[in-house]
Structure formats: structure tokens, C-alpha cells
Structure 1
């Protein structure tokens, strides 16, 4: 069930071959990501779980924006090829988003991450720009994996709160249903690539998550009872199990409701004691992205409403202004593209 390959192997596999043909099928702060890519309506769902929220803002970013990697030596420089709609925290960190081609990127916590040693001969981007770089430049999972060496992801300070940076990994999905997970293990990027990589949570590493999943009866093991805890391993198993039996439908509202029921199942309620870690790390928002229709659904846990943005209703051509919308605004409900206001992004 595992498609674990190094960066070198992933690049070699993509040389002249499609990823599906080239590759075989096979506790800290919390988040979960689920890609429902075997349904007529493809959807990417996620939770953002942390000790606090980061005043997240939904940004609509036009194509043609000039960017620079926020590292001291040899920062990458690029102009965004594609428009995107993202959720950013602390004004600068792209936590997730979708671009106009239907590429979706989600950034999650992974305790034990060890980024590559800095090689200043390669252009660098700060780790909190990682999703944005992909959204700006690529349309498919294959393009992302085929260009992994173009920049180096660099662990840098994220404001005064995180002077040592953060250990993270990313999940990538596209409108064709392809999926990939990228982790930095022992200083080397590791790629898990294939349509069957639908679920991602946090620690341990993806290899270990898959090994744990295979212990359960629905996945060929012997353990009959599903885990009910909020730890990353428990959420991984529960998400994979629920996705396996989620009723398929071509009805978009029903598909979104089905996915939201799954995302709620792996959310962390306020006040839940987090085993092994001091404090509580609740879910602050849940999102669902439709990479075909380019609709972005958001449900926060401190407001009673769900709202969504239809990217097709926004002017995101080069030269258009960037637009912002704080996601914790209790007045947001239903289709909310008209609630954006012009702003100056820092991402």
C-alpha cells in the first residue's frame, strides 16, 4: 500500500512516464486532510487544529503577483502564474488553498520533520511559503513532483512566536484526482504519490501511519474496533475507515454534506485533553475544496455558520487587486464572494 520514494526516485519516475504508470499502488498539534477522489464530485476536506487560532484570513490572489522567498541567502523570485484562493494565518503563512487550475495544497504539522540542510546554491523559500509556491506555479501533482528541485524549502523563524520555525508536511491534490504527500525525513524529501493517498494527519511519519492502518480489520488486519481518540494515529484510521464507506453521489450539495460529516468525525472538540502534550488543541476551522468547480467551503468552530466562495465569481486576472476576508466573521453565511474587500497581502 506504500508508494514511498525519495525525491530522486520521484523525479526519475516522472521522466517520460505518467505517475500512475511509474509508481506501484500500494503527538503534537493536530490537523487532518482527506481527499475524496473516487467520487463523481471530488472534494478535499481538512481541519485546522492548534492551541489557538491565527486570525486566519481568506485571500483571493490574482495571477501576476511578484514574490520573493523569505530566506537570507539566495531567495527564490517568481511571478505567480496562476490565481489562487487561500487561507493564511499570522498574515504570512499559507495554510492551504486552491488555484485556478484546481491544484489544492494543505500544510499540516508533522513532529519529527527535519528539513534539508541549507544549500544556498539553490533558490530558497521559507517553509510558510511552501503551499503558495506550488499554487502560484503548478497546475497538477505531476508538475509539482517533477519540479521539486527548483527551490529548497527552508526552516526559518515565523515571527516571535516560532523563532525556530515549525515542523510541517504538505498534501497535494489536483482536479484529475491525483494525490501526493511530501515529508522531510532525516533531512531528505520523501514523496508518497498515488491516488490512494487520500488521508493525512500528523505524526508519526507516513510509512508508520500506513503500517498502523493495516492493523485494522477493514484494511486487512485483525483489530475490529475503530480507535475513538483524538491522537493523529486514531484520526488517520477513523478518517480512512469513514472515507471507505462514505456514500458516493454526483449531487454536489449532498457530496459536500457527506464530506463535512467525515471532517466533523475527526475534529477535536474544545476542552478535549490531548494525551502526551500539555494543553488542548481544538479544531478552529474545517474547509472543503471542490477542485473541479473551484468552490471553497469554510466552517469555523467559533461561529455557527458555513460559508463558501465561488472562485469563478472573482476577478483574479493579472492586475486585479488582491481581496481579503477574515474567516471568523460571524456574519458570513452562504455564498460569500461579495464579502471580500481589497487588501495588501503579506503572503
Structure 2
């Protein structure tokens, strides 16, 4: 697999005609890690930002009507699959899982340049990018095979972000497949393969891989791990920790192991502002199990960890959407019974 692929090359790869090559397995910042070589596969994520977005967990039943929320030729669809998502500002799907075990994470990438708008293609606002995939697809390969169905559009996100935000997405599924999608110089760039397990922020993904290969654990000469909070440093540290994370078939221990990794790449409150786009503290950490549909959340403003068993939620067509504010200090343990009816914007 080439380190980066155009949309056409990615589709060719799925068809079995793509080439293959070996790669080893901050205005804002985030980190995403996919532990897909363990019996219990887990996706970990940190959300780092200058402030909290009052994030809420939303349980969204299948059969919901959606609109792409762009002014010209917005995409229209009905959700094929139910999903459990964390939304910021009650409108931006930051991450989530659907009932088939597809997991999508949305992260900041300074330097993103979305495609020039083609009004012949149905558009979706960038903040619905993950939700579209969760609503419609069951696997990474399905997502990649259908990239041309819609166009991601950079639009205002409320009054706070009138020029939108530069972002990229990571996709994982219950089979262990993984993909990273970025928009570089106005074109989609796709990295697809089980070895694409770590993602942070800038620089672009091919440069992150090139930097990783400078370290001795991946064939380079640098023999000291970086200890800083910048995106490239967190990328190397996450990849290193994942390489040696003790494997286990115990679900509780696996979640604990994964949370220890995400703690290692979290950004403490009070860390100095620095870097290309700045570095800000971690507000929450999440771990998603695409097989069991268990969703763990640990915020950094409360000492609690809670989780949701997605299969315990009523997500049949016609069921009401339900919400759970993640910063509620009383949340502890399994919380599927704590959701309340709500009207989502996602």
C-alpha cells in the first residue's frame, strides 16, 4: 500500500489492482489509537481543545432523516444504522460507533484544504462527516468504496468558527481494518490498511510516518522517545506504547491497558501554548470496543469513568433519540439507563 492514495487509487486498491509497499505497523490537538492486533480490539481517543464543547453522548436510532446542512445541493439520507456518538456544541459529531462496529473519529489537522465545491455532488458540512459514515456504512472498505457519494464542505460552525475548521478522520471497523482520510492541497488523500493505527494532528500523515521511521523501533537511528506534547511527539509515543501494550483477552484489563496508553498521550492542564497551531489540554478520553459496542468515557474534570453498553439502548426505528451529557459528575459505571430524551442537531 502506498503511504498515501488519491480517491481513485484507493478505489483501485479495493478492487485488487492497487500496488503494495511495506510500512510498519494544534490550535488544537487530539490523539487516536486503534489496537487491532489484540483479541479485544479497541479504539482510543483524546479530545484536546482550548475549551470544552459541552460534549454530549447521543443515542441515535436507525431511520432518522438527515440533511447535509450546506446551502447548495445538500445531501439527503435516512440513517441505515443506529449510532452512539459524542457531539460537541450539540451539532458536531466528534466521534462515534454504529451498530455494525464502524468507528469514526474526527481530529484537527492544520493545513487541511478541502476540495473546491462541486455543486453537482451532494454536500455535507464537515461537522457531519463522521455521522454520514456511521449512518450509512458497516466497514472501512464500504466507506472507501463510496467516497464519491458526497462532498465534504467547509462551512461555518456557529458564530465561534465562521470559517469552519481544518479536520481529518480516522475510520476503524470490527474486522480490524483502518483508514485515514485527509484533504491535502484540495484533494482527498487516503491511507488504508491495518497498519494505520495511530493518528494525531499536523503534519500530514505521510510526514508523520516519515518522522516515525527516524526512530530505532522502526528502523531509524534515534533511540530516545520524545516526551513532549506536540502532535508529532505524541504520534511517536503512542505508536511506541501500542507496540508494547500487553495483549489480553480480558475486556476489563484490555480497557485499562488502552486507557493507560491514552493517558500517556494526554495533554495536562497548564501545558504551555506552543507549536504550529498551539497545544491545549485534554478534556476527555474515550475507548470504543467495535465488537461488544461498549463505549468508555473518562473526562478530565471529574475523577469518574463511565461506559455505555450500546446494545442495551433502544435504537429501533421510531425510538426517541436520547442524550447523556458527558461532564455530569455523577456518572459512574454502566450508564445506558441514564440517557434522557432529547432533540439532536447531529
TM bucket, shorter chain: over 0.9
8 Å CA contact 1:298–1:307 kept in 2: the answer is: yes
TM-score normalised per structure 2: 0.97
Residues 3 and 25, structure 1, Cα contact 8 Å, conserved in 2: no
Shift of 1:28: 3.2
- Aligned position for 2:97: 98
- Supply the RMSD in Å over aligned alpha carbons: 1.4
Alignment of 1:40-189 (within 5 A): 40-189=39-188
Q: Distance in 2 between matches of 1:292 and 1:155?
A: 33
**Paired residue secondary structure (2:105):** strand
Match of 1:234 in 2: 233
State the 1:12 CA deviation. Answer: 1.8
| Cα distance in structure 2, aligned partners of 1:110 and 1:278 | 9
Does residue 11 of structure 1 match 2:11? Answer: yes
> Distance in 2 between the 1:195 and 1:128 partners?
26
- Cα pair 1:73 1:124 within 8 Å, conserved: yes
Shift of 1:149: 0.2
Secondary structure of 1:289's aligned partner: strand
Q: 1:345 to 1:184 in 2, by over 3 A?
A: same
Task: Provide Cα deviations, 1:115-143, integer angstroms capped at 9, x if missing partner.
Answer: 00000000000000000000000000000
| Cα distance in 2 between the residues matched to 1:83 and 1:263 | 27
Conserved in 1, the CA contact under 8 Å of 2:230 and 2:275? no
Q: 1:241–1:5: structure 2 CA closer, same or farther, 3 Å change rule? A: same
* Cα distance change, pair 320–272 in 1 and its aligned pair in 2 (3 A): same
- Structure 1, unmatched stretches of 5+, are none
TM-score by length of 1: 0.97
| Corresponding residue number in structure 1 for 2:343 | 344
Aligned residue runs from structure 1 range 179-218, under 5 A = 179-218=178-217
Aligned length: 344
Q: Deviations over 1:93-128 (max 9, x none)?
A: 000000000000000000000000000000000000
* 1:146-177 Cα shifts (integer Å, max 9, x gaps): 00000000000000000000000000000000
Q: Quick one: distance in 1 between partners of 2:133 and 2:21?
A: 25
Cα distance, 1:298 vs. partner?
A: 0.1
Q: 2:280 matched to which residue of 1?
A: 281
After superposing on structure 2, the runs of 4+ consecutive aligned residues of structure 1 that deviate more than 2 Å are 21-28, 276-280
Residues 1:271 and 2:270 are matched in the alignment: yes
CA shift, 1:278, in A, is 8.0
- Work out the CA distance in 2 between the residues paired with 1:58 and 1:218: 38
Q: Does the 8 A contact of 1:113 with 1:186 survive in 2?
A: yes
Superimposed CA distance per residue, residues 265-302 of structure 1 (whole angstroms, 9 cap, x where no aligned partner): 00000000032368751000000000000000000000
Contact 2:2-2:19 at 8 Å conserved across structures: no
Q: Which residue of 2 aligns with 1:315?
A: 314
CA displacement 1:21-49 (0-9 Å, x = unmatched): 86444243100000000000000000000
Could you tell me how far apart the structure 2 residues matched to 1:94 and 1:163 are? 18
Q: What SS is found at the alignment partner of 2:81?
A: coil
Q: Distance in 2 between matches of 1:206 and 1:195?
A: 15
**Contact 2:55 2:326 (C-alpha < 8 Å) held by counterparts:** yes
